[in-house]
Structure 1
Amino acid sequence: MALVHIGVGSNINKEVNVANALQDLDIMFDNCRVSSIFESAAVNCTGDNYYNLVVEFTTSLSITALMQCLKDLEITHGRKATDRRYAPRTLDLDLLLFDNVIQSESPVLPRPEILYHAFVLWPLAELAPDLCHPESGMTMAALWRDFDKSTQVLALAQWQWPAITELV
């Protein structure tokens, strides 16, 4: 079983889309844990603010099978294959970490955004503070501690998934 971390984002009907995605992920995968939900301005695109969070779970799927599963889930929740890369999203599911796998081919692992987007690193550090980044060897808590927080505005969202209220 692989320990997996995925980033979840939405800026279209975000409470509904995030809630539905979390319900589906909990049904599909074992030992799901969810970070707090954070709100940030859209990065590299226009549109409403995003909700972002990280989900951790275990799976026996291969990376390829997991990526297809995540893509299918995005489509189920209204994402279209024709959507522009930096367009508003009903649901965005990004594989951040798959155990300690390091690979440069698609999907690149660990996902580079971990190190430079607060909306990825903060929820990851909250959920798995002692988890080590496969390349740097630093814990997520240490990476977040050293992150330049003055460059990106990020805050806890007013709406939180009921299963995570004990983390907030």
Structure 2
Amino acid sequence: MAEVFVSIGSNTEREVYIKRCLDALDAHFEKLALSPVYESEPVGFEGDNFYNLVASFKTELPVGELSKTLKKIEDDNDRCRTSEKFSGRTLDVDILTYDALIGTIDGVTLPRGEITENAFVLWPLAELAPKARHPVLAETYQQLWLDYDKEKQSLYPVPFIWRENDLSA
């Protein structure tokens, strides 16, 4: 079974859609582990702030099937696919890594570039898997976060409870 890390974000009814996403992931995949939840300003457009977190789980699905499953979870949660690329959304679930695969597999680029570009991906990933290593850079996520320019993007820990699990930082 492959270990997968995904980023999860929402800026529309954030708490509702994040909880629905976590319910769906928990129903589909084994050994769901979650980072704390953070609030971030939108990147690339003006709009409401996002809630973001990272989840890891085990799956036997190949990359392409996993991507389809995650898109269905987004669609089941009112994701509008006709909006501009950089716009608000009910739910965004992106594959960050799939084991240590590198390259474009079934249309999915691995590892996802946002890992090192966006605080709202890297900080939760470093919290969830500090000793795991980036498949290309071979540095730990903890070290990548320590080296990240914190002035680049604002990110705030938020209180968040899902199924009696405290996902607050």
User: Quick check: TM above 0.5?
Assistant: yes
Report the CA distance shift for 1:133/1:149 in structure 2 as closer, same or farther (over 3 A). Answer: same
Maintained 8 Å contact 1:40/1:119: yes
Moved more, 41-50 or 55-64: 41-50
The runs of 5 or more residues in structure 1 that have no matched partner are: none
Paired amino acid for 2:18: V
Give runs of aligned pairs for residues 22-101 of structure 1, distance below 5 A: 22-101=22-101
- 1:48-73, CA deviations, whole angstroms, 9 ceiling, x for partnerless residues? 10000000000000000000000010
Paired amino acid for 2:65: A
SS at match of 1:17: helix
Displaced runs of 4 or more, over 6 A? none
| TM-score normalised over the length of structure 1 | 0.95
SS at match of 2:151: helix
| TM-score normalised over the length of structure 2 | 0.94
Greater strand share, structure number: 2
Aligned length: 168
* Partner in structure 2 of residue 149 of structure 1: 150
Provide the C-alpha distance between the structure 1 equivalents of 2:94 and 2:78, rounded to a whole number of angstroms.
16
The structural deviation recorded for 1:150 is 1.4
Q: 1:109 and 2:110 equivalent? A: yes
- The Cα RMSD (Å) is 1.4
SS at match of 1:46: coil
The structural deviation recorded for 1:166 is 6.9
* Percent pairwise identity: 40
Maintained 8 Å contact 1:26/1:32: yes
SS at match of 2:160: coil
Provide the C-alpha distance between the structure 1 equivalents of 2:145 and 2:100, rounded to a whole number of angstroms.
19
Report the CA distance shift for 1:14/1:101 in structure 2 as closer, same or farther (over 3 A). Answer: same
The runs of 5 or more residues in structure 2 that have no matched partner are: none
